[in-house]
Amino acid sequence: MHQLEIIGSEAVAAALDGRETAVLECVRDTYLLHERGRTVNPDSHFLRFPEKPDSRIIALPAFVNDDRPTAGIKWISSFPANVARGKQRASAILVLNDYETGHPVAVLESAAISAARTAASAALAARVLAKQAPETVGVIGAGYIARTVCAYLAASGTPLDRVVCHDQDPASAAALAAHLNGRSPGTATTGALQDALDADLVVFATTALAPYVPVAHRFRPDQLALHLSLRDLAPETLLASHNIVDDVEHCLKAQTSPHLAEGLVGHRDFVNGTLAQVVLGDVALDANRPTVFSPFGLGVLDIAVGRLVLDEARSTGRSVSAEGFFGDPVRW
């Protein structure tokens, strides 16, 4: 009888703990598979609510076609009002399907997986796109994603010697700074938006629905911005930058800043390439312009990292079988 495996939050956390390098390499390999056309990554589907315009639930179906073909879907909610209640903004599950039969084989708690694949993508971009090691890091948006990104940056060798934390909620910025100082005393402070924007490496991890950084803002040529939240920067700022994305078609939609830039100029020539193309040496960085990395967030990354987590949970006995979840698999 086919059984469904359940991988809860404790098992997911145990599978990810201390494995930043493995997750980063998994994300890198999946980007390269995607670049070679060895994935299927349909459009994300957004469920929105008329009376909660800032909230959404997103479905990300995807298929990774490597030596272990795996399909699945992430169902992730973002309800920013949770923050004021002292709760996490996002929650998610991931379903993995067997490629041979299509049967669901596992359901995984996925807020941590989603944060890990986002953070690994950011850390990979910092490693590949930075013109030099940053002396200062500015973090704009001080939630779970920001905390995870900082952990992956540190694990991948990006120095966090001087970090400026900024958030519309000062308590959140202070909490992130305290968290970083708990790991390395004197590392982090809180500051104004401009203080964070002036850092050598700028990380955007907000819930912004529209650009709020002043239209006139321009990064220095030596700066790298990891534009993870996608809607922080005015189109004019992007047009004055060297732009790298994870996938052009996915990134230039849903009113992201790159999508707004396309609407402003009527073309996509301002997008210089994908992160995978940089890794492969097919795209060179412009030394005279700042670099902005805008990743839409590909479902194939969730599938790949989720599979890594499932493997670890199975090997350590942390996978739980949902006995009797499915009916009789025999047709007659």
Kindly state whether residue 135 falls inside one of the protein's structural domains: yes
Kindly state whether residue 167 falls inside one of the protein's structural domains: yes
Q: CATH number, domain at 98?
A: 3.30.1780.10
Note the pLDDT of residue 331: 80
Q: Contact at 8 Å (CB) between 144 and 115? A: yes
Residues 313, 266, single domain; the answer is: no
Per residue in 166-199, pLDDT tens? 999 999 999 999 999 999 998 999 999 999 999 9
Note the pLDDT of residue 3: 87
In this predicted structure, the answer to whether residue 68 has a pLDDT above a threshold of 80 is yes
Residues 290, 303, single domain; the answer is: no
The conformational region for residue 37 under phi > 0 = left, psi -120 to 50 = alpha, else beta, is: left
Residues 76, 176, single domain; the answer is: no
Q: Is the dihedral of CA 189, 182, 161, 234 positive or negative?
A: negative
Q: Contact at 8 Å (CB) between 218 and 240? A: yes
Residues 69, 8, single domain; the answer is: yes
Kindly state whether residue 147 falls inside one of the protein's structural domains: yes
Kindly state whether residue 328 falls inside one of the protein's structural domains: no
Residues 81, 195, single domain; the answer is: no
Residues 163, 92, single domain; the answer is: no
Angle at 242 between CA 302 and CA 32, to 5 degrees: 35
Per residue in 93-114, pLDDT tens? 999 999 999 999 999 999 999 9
Of 91-95, 114-118, 217-221, 323-327, which gets the smallest average pLDDT? Answer: 323-327
Residues 130, 258, single domain; the answer is: yes
Kindly state whether residue 330 falls inside one of the protein's structural domains: no
Domain range for 17? 4-113+299-322
Residues 193, 307, single domain; the answer is: no
Residues 133, 222, single domain; the answer is: yes
Domains identified in the chain, total number? 2
What is the pTM (predicted TM-score) of this model? 0.94
pLDDT band at residue 90 using 50, 70 and 90 as cut-offs: confident
Q: CATH number, domain at 200?
A: 3.40.50.720
Kindly state whether residue 118 falls inside one of the protein's structural domains: no
Closest to 168 (Cα-Cα) out of 136, 132, 204, 198: 204
Kindly state whether residue 331 falls inside one of the protein's structural domains: no
In this predicted structure, the answer to whether residue 328 has a pLDDT above a threshold of 80 is no
Per residue in 225-274, pLDDT tens? 999 999 999 999 999 999 999 999 999 999 999 999 999 999 999 999 99
Note the pLDDT of residue 1: 53
pLDDT band at residue 2 using 50, 70 and 90 as cut-offs: confident
Residues 148, 86, single domain; the answer is: no
Residues 61, 104, single domain; the answer is: yes
SS3 sequence of the chain: CCCEEEECHHHHHHHHCCCHHHHHHHHHHHHHHHHCCCEECCCCEEEEECCEEEEEEEEEEEEECCCCCEEEEEEEEECHHHHHHCCCCEEEEEEEEECCCCCEEEEEECHHHHHHHHHHHHHHHHHHHCCCCCCCEEEECCCHHHHHHHHHHHHCCCCCCCEEEECCCHHHHHHHHHHHHHHCCCCEEECCHHHHHCCCEEEECCCCCCCCCCCCCCCCCCCEEEECCCCCCCHHHHHCCEEEECCHHHHCCCCCHHHHHHHHHCCCCCEEEEHHHHHCCCCCCCCCCCEEEECCCCHHHHHHHHHHHHHHHHHCCCCEEECCCCCCCCCC
Note the pLDDT of residue 182: 95
Kindly state whether residue 151 falls inside one of the protein's structural domains: yes
Mean pLDDT of 286-310: 97
- What rounded mean pLDDT belongs to the chain? 96
Residues 305, 197, single domain; the answer is: no
